[in-house]
Structure 1
Amino acid sequence: MSEIIVAFDGMKYDDVLPLAEALSGMGVLFKVNDLLDEYGVKIIESLKYFGGVMADPKLYDIPNTVKNRIKRYAAFKPDFITVHASGGIDMMRAAVDSCDSKILAVTVLTSLTEEECNINLGGPVKAKVLQFARNAVLAGVHGIVCSSQELKFLSEFRELKALIKVTPGIRPVWHLDPKDDQSRVTTPADAVDMGSDYLVIGRPIIKALNPVEAVRKTKKEIGKASIRNR
């Protein structure tokens, strides 16, 4: 069954640890991004006590610099570390060769519209995601981060089958918001149907009055979809 990664974005350290403790034992992982900037890589060690960790610095630099930075994160043994696929094959390969953690290549950000992708990345979303995914395979990367809306398209390409598929922009049916700042969002059930292995969910869980119950409800959505796909 697909797993939940809870995004601890925009949170304070004093709020994160109690929430991680409350969610420990529920089979979720924790994603940290801006917390890495404010509290450093040791936040990974603190969270590992309660569950798996996805370090999400989205590294983008020359290969040697990425190699050096990856080692800093890897010292605290996160399950996943993210890099930007647009950094190129050599950069991604440097990340893979520098640690035992699984490297995830971020393809096209879910905040980008089709028009913005054409302007900023030089092509339509599907074409760029496919290009980045193929480059990730060539670099030996373990998985990719992409919108679930591209997953069905990617499933047509045999060479991409082994990649772990991590999908942000997930909004449970009980938390759909027309004012969302991500352009390409979907429900947990639809993401599972399209082949997602890990669902990244932030605000619907961390802003919930009862985060534990929010995880339970989301797991039910995932479970129903998983049964359909057996």
Structure 2
Amino acid sequence: MDGSVEKLPTQAARGKTLKEATYGALKAMILIGELAPGSRLTESALAERLKVSRTPLREALNRLERDGLVTNRPRHGCFVAAFDLKTFEESFGIREVLDGYAAEQAAENASAEDKIRLRGILARSQSLVPPAERSMDQMVEQLQLGLDLHHVIARASGNDQLADTLTRILDRCHHFVWMELLWLDHWNEAHDEHVEIVDAICGGNAERAAGLARHHVRSSRDDIRRLLQARFAYKSALARVS
């Protein structure tokens, strides 16, 4: 990373308060793996790194704990939540159901403004340079655009509780999706699947939108599972050798 994530708190032009910007910066650093799963979060080091006082930092850590991205261990401090196989299976299992339902409801309830936002996200995604030539910042932006698309679909469903629940689940899936796109290089496939989902939603085809959304999550889950299994097998082999 070139440090762009860490500059978020000082970018007042984006209309963020210091508290919100600190939270956003820390969350981004966790979700893209800049702060590794299981690593200890030292307030003094983070405050210096982000150029903020401890007050907004502590508020951000408390909020991230509620999000399930940080764990607070009494007498030991705060740690980045571990993203294990159990978390992965549970999160993607729930996502498959909720994403399908959200897409179905969005096809029935999306406003003209929702459809414009969805098309705009796809257009921005398409405009980015080929994956092999992207900088880390562009790769992060591509990932965020994909997640933004899912958030817009959830809100377009018209069901606020569904949208809030999906937001929390997406946060837990973010780390795994980043692994998939970074290590398996499925940027183009993900974009093409998003185009199909948006076409179905904008066309009012609820059944097709739901099926495509479920297939999209299922395919991602299967790819990530293979990657995780390969990593676990590799670590086990190393442990036996040592």
Fold shared per TM-score above 0.5: no
Higher strand proportion: 1
TM-score band by shorter chain is under 0.3
| TM-score of the aligned structures, taking structure 1 as reference length | 0.25
Give the structure-2-normalised TM-score.
0.24
